[in-house]
Amino acid sequence: MAQPTEEASCGPDEEKNELSGVKLEESSPDPEELQRKYEELNNRFLRLAADFENYKRRVTRETESRITRAIEEFAVDLLEVVDNFERALGAEDSSAREGLEQISKLFETILARHGIQRLESVGRVFDPSEHEAIAAVPSDNEEGIIIDEICAGYCMNEKIIRCARVAVSKGKKTDNIRESE
């Protein structure tokens, strides 16, 4: 008869405990490993959350930019109508003129409500970022001073959406005569 070995001498309960202990050791990872995995997943989550916040801000900025651009384009088209009203205001018929003045004031009010304002040009120094010189005319004003506004310029929320078309002084008439002599 064979002699029992140490393993065989263990009872069934002892054998289960040993196997259970092995399974427990395999299923409970090292606390340092758990901490490392937690930190890795937490960092990944934080990066994704930050990326998502950046995405939301970018989309908001882009949407606001598109809206502003659409309003600017609409305003530029609308300004052509305003220009025609201003030309019609020069008419001699007083009853038609009064009606046109009321419509013009209404346009100005609506434009102002949306942040669109007319640029004042006459008497100011020519600024290429705000003005487009259509003509250079000798006058009693100093050189570079705007003497006439052919077409008004407009800004929306302090951004130029249409430059004013202007006539600029060449300088005093007497100075030009002396220069040619």
Q: Which residue has the higher pLDDT, 8 or 95?
A: 95
Question: Is the domain of 77 the same as that of 129?
Answer: no
Average pLDDT on 1-21 reads 53
Q: Which two tokens stand for residue 49?
A: 């959350």
pLDDT digits (tens, 9 = 90+) for 41-60: 999 999 999 999 999 999 99
In a shared domain, residues 47 and 102: yes
> Is 24 among the domain residues?
no
Between residues 144 and 178, the one the model is more confident about: 144
pLDDT on residue 5? 52
pLDDT of residue 72: 85
Residue 165's pLDDT is 95
- Asked whether residue 130 is domain-assigned, the answer is yes
Over residues 118-136, the pLDDT tens digits come to 999 999 999 999 999 999 9
Using the predicted structure, report yes or no on whether residue 25 has a pLDDT greater than 80. Answer: no
Q: Which residue has the higher pLDDT, 179 or 97?
A: 97
pLDDT over 90, % of the chain = 43
Q: Which of 153, 138, 119 is nearest to 167 (CA)?
A: 138
Domain containing 154 — which CATH number?
Answer: 2.30.22.10
Higher pLDDT pick, 146 / 180 = 146
Predicted confidence (pLDDT) at residue 4 exceeds the cutoff of 70: no
Provide the domain limits for residue 74: 36-114
Question: Do 103 and 135 have their domain in common?
Answer: no
Burial tier of 79 (Cβ tally within 10 Å: 0-12, 13-18, 19+): buried
**E strand map for 93-163:** 116-119, 131-138, 146-151, 153-156, 159-162
Do 40 and 104 have their domain in common?
yes
pLDDT in tens, 61-100: 999 999 988 888 888 878 877 777 777 777 677 777 777 8
Q: Please tell me the predicted confidence (pLDDT) of residue 181.
A: 46
For 77, the token pair is 């088209």
Judged against a pLDDT cut of 90, whether residue 20 lies above it is answered with no
Phi, psi of 134 (to 5 degrees): -95, -30
Q: Provide the domain count of the chain.
A: 2
